[in-house]
Amino acid sequence: MTRGEPEESAETRRPKRDEGRHRRVEPPAGRAGGTAMTRHVLGTIGRATFLAVVLGFFSLPLLWLASAPFDAHPSITTSLPEFTFGNFRSLLDNPYVVSSLRNSLLQAAGSAVLVVVLAALAAYALSRVRVPGRDALLYVLLLLSSVVTGTAAMVPLFELATRLNLIDTHLGVVLTLSGGLLPAAIFILKDFMDGTPTSYEESARVFGASPLQILRHIVIPLVRPGLATIAVWAVANVWGSFLQPFILLRDPDKAPGAVILYTLYTEGGAPRLDLISTFSLLYSLPVVVMYVFVSRRYGFRFHGGIKR
């Protein structure tokens, strides 16, 4: 700071200057106290502006979601609605909407149960039994899981589902989606289980508890927040899945909400923004409610990081 020197001497000559007085009150505040202050204020303003822009960017779609369903003539922009409940009525007139919500629920719950049960068992075993190459196996599974349910695997998956007669069944969708979620679920749950000392289980074993009793009495209660996390995550994932049910289900009676949302177009191919926005709001509510409920109940917390 080259300007600091002359200022300093000027101060000492004329102690009545503002900065001089300020310095006397707070001697350790540093040489260029004034400039630092300005920089601090500017920095705060800059940060706040940046955050406001980011916040606006993300909140506009949410605002749209909150307003458009109640707008008689919604457009792609967010605006104050011409208030109406009519959109909900016309949405419920669509025969597939209600059944699609039920389908979504069925597929999400089925996958969540399957993922939680299988991942808990696998994670427990992997956490407690020394398997050679265990970590490598987990990482490879994790890597492949994005491929399994990804676009690239759609053709073989379709082929497989056809041969197994799983086309047009909820089971087919549940199995496919669970397969994709399992590796990550196992990975996260294994971390939870690694974090619980083995002496609890050994203690129970000495008292004669069987492995399943140990799992039920000791391990599951201890990793319950982890199980809740996985369940919520699985439900949210399945709830939003489009490609797999779209391909595996031919019958619109079995399609979940995410697929039905895609059919809300006019004959001419224009999106029915009124129905899409209303359905989107309706469709996102259960997940939000579930998240709030589970987070209240169990409080999402990860013991330690993903990897120690």
Partner 1 sequence: MISLSGLTKEFPGGVRAVDSLDLEIGDGEFFALLGPSGCGKTTLLRSIAGLETPTSGKIRISGNDVTALPPGRRNVAMVFQDYALFPHMDVTSNIAYPLRIKKVSRSRREARAAETASRLSLSELLARRPGQLSGGQQQRVALARAIASHPQVFLFDEPLSNLDARLRLEARTFLKRLQRELAVTTVFVTHDQGEALALADRIAVMNAGRIMQVGTPSEVFHRPIGTFVAGFIGSTPMNLLPASAEGGRLHVAGAVLPLPGDIADGPLVYGLRPEYADLSQSAPTGRRDVFSGKVAVVENLGAAHLVTLDSGDLLIQVVVPEGDEPAVGAPAWAVPRTGRALLYRDDRLLTVA
Least Å distance between CB 201 and partner 1? 9
> Taking a C-beta distance cutoff of 8 angstroms, is the pair 123, 189 a contact?
yes
Q: Which among 15, 19, 21 has a CA at the least distance from the CA of 36?
A: 19
DSSP assignment of 6-17, as one string?
A: HHHHHHHH-TTS
Task: Kindly state whether residue 197 participates in binding partner 1, applying the rule CB under 8 A.
Answer: yes
Task: Kindly state whether residue 203 participates in binding partner 1, applying the rule CB under 8 A.
Answer: yes
Least Å distance between CB 199 and partner 1? 4
Of 22, 31, 217, 303, the one binding partner 1 by CB under 8 A: 217
- Measured CA distances, 31 to 9, 12, 55 (Å): 11, 12, 37
Task: Kindly state whether residue 301 participates in binding partner 1, applying the rule CB under 8 A.
Answer: no
Task: Kindly state whether residue 221 participates in binding partner 1, applying the rule CB under 8 A.
Answer: yes
* CB contact set of 277 (below 8 Å; sequence gap of 6+): 64, 65, 68, 69, 71, 74, 87
> Taking a C-beta distance cutoff of 8 angstroms, is the pair 176, 161 a contact?
yes
Closer residue to partner 1 (CB): 57 or 207: 207
Task: Kindly state whether residue 218 participates in binding partner 1, applying the rule CB under 8 A.
Answer: yes
Task: Kindly state whether residue 298 participates in binding partner 1, applying the rule CB under 8 A.
Answer: no
Task: Kindly state whether residue 199 participates in binding partner 1, applying the rule CB under 8 A.
Answer: yes
Q: Which among 253, 132, 233 has a CA at the least distance from the CA of 186?
A: 233
Q: Which stretch binds partner 1 (CB under 8 A): 62-70, 76-84, 192-200, 294-302?
A: 192-200
What is the spatial distance between Cα 155 and Cα 24, in angstroms, rounded to a whole number? 77
Closer residue to partner 1 (CB): 146 or 203: 203
Least Å distance between CB 129 and partner 1? 14
Structure-token pair, residue 113: 């149960």
What is the spatial distance between Cα 229 and Cα 233, in angstroms, rounded to a whole number? 6
Task: Kindly state whether residue 222 participates in binding partner 1, applying the rule CB under 8 A.
Answer: yes
Of 144, 154, 209, 282, the one binding partner 1 by CB under 8 A: 209
Structure-token pair, residue 38: 């300005």
Burial of 147 (0-12, 13-18, 19+ CB in 10 A): exposed
> Taking a C-beta distance cutoff of 8 angstroms, is the pair 223, 189 a contact?
yes
Q: Which stretch binds partner 1 (CB under 8 A): 171-179, 187-195, 196-204, 227-235?
A: 196-204
**Given the structure tokens 């002496």, which residue do they identify?**
199
Check residue 265 and give left, alpha or beta (phi > 0: left; psi -120 to 50: alpha). beta
Closer residue to partner 1 (CB): 11 or 201: 201
Task: Kindly state whether residue 204 participates in binding partner 1, applying the rule CB under 8 A.
Answer: yes
Least Å distance between CB 291 and partner 1? 24
Task: Kindly state whether residue 208 participates in binding partner 1, applying the rule CB under 8 A.
Answer: yes
Closer residue to partner 1 (CB): 74 or 225: 225
Closer residue to partner 1 (CB): 22 or 205: 205
Task: Kindly state whether residue 205 participates in binding partner 1, applying the rule CB under 8 A.
Answer: yes
What is the spatial distance between Cα 117 and Cα 298, in angstroms, rounded to a whole number? 18
Binding-site ranges for partner 1 (CB under 8 A): 197, 199-200, 202-210, 213, 217-218, 221-222
